[in-house]
Amino acid sequence: TQLLEQSPQFLSIQEGENLTVYCNSSSVFSSLQWYRQEPGEGPVLLVTVVTGGEVKKLKRLTFQFGDARKDSSLHITAAQPGDTGLYLCAGYTGGFKTIFGAGTRLFVKA
């Protein structure tokens, strides 16, 4: 069974702080995606990483794919209340199916 474990499950921080969330698996992924989901809405894609060791930046968000393509991290610099949401990682190993992690719920207090 392919599993994606995300940590921490829940994170509550003050505006301006930095944070990192993790996505780990024993499986090797062809590609890995990060989505953000806000309450009452569906997930929205933030980034796709495909190469081991790849780093992508999206404004204050930095995404890294592990060298072995089994794990990924999302680092947010100077978090803002607008970053509040559920962050989901999703891995693809082949075939048609993408596996989602259980998510990290982030709350940024003003």
Give residues in contact with another protein (CB under 8 A).
Answer: 29-31, 33, 37, 40-45, 48, 50, 86, 88, 91-94, 96-98, 100, 102-103, 105
CB atoms within 10 A of CB 45: 11
- Decide whether 43 or 78 has the Cβ nearer to another protein: 43
* Min dist. Cβ of residue 78 to another protein (A): 26
CB atoms within 10 A of CB 43: 18
* Min dist. Cβ of residue 37 to another protein (A): 8
* Min dist. Cβ of residue 33 to another protein (A): 8
Length of the chain: 110
* Min dist. Cβ of residue 29 to another protein (A): 8
CA 88 from chain center: how many Å?
A: 5
Classify residue 105 as exposed, middle or buried by CB count within 10 Å of its CB (0-12, 13-18, 19+). middle
- Decide whether 40 or 82 has the Cβ nearer to another protein: 40
| Rounded-to-integer distance, Cα 55 and Cα 76, Å | 13
Alpha helices in the chain (DSSP H): none
- Decide whether 24 or 98 has the Cβ nearer to another protein: 98
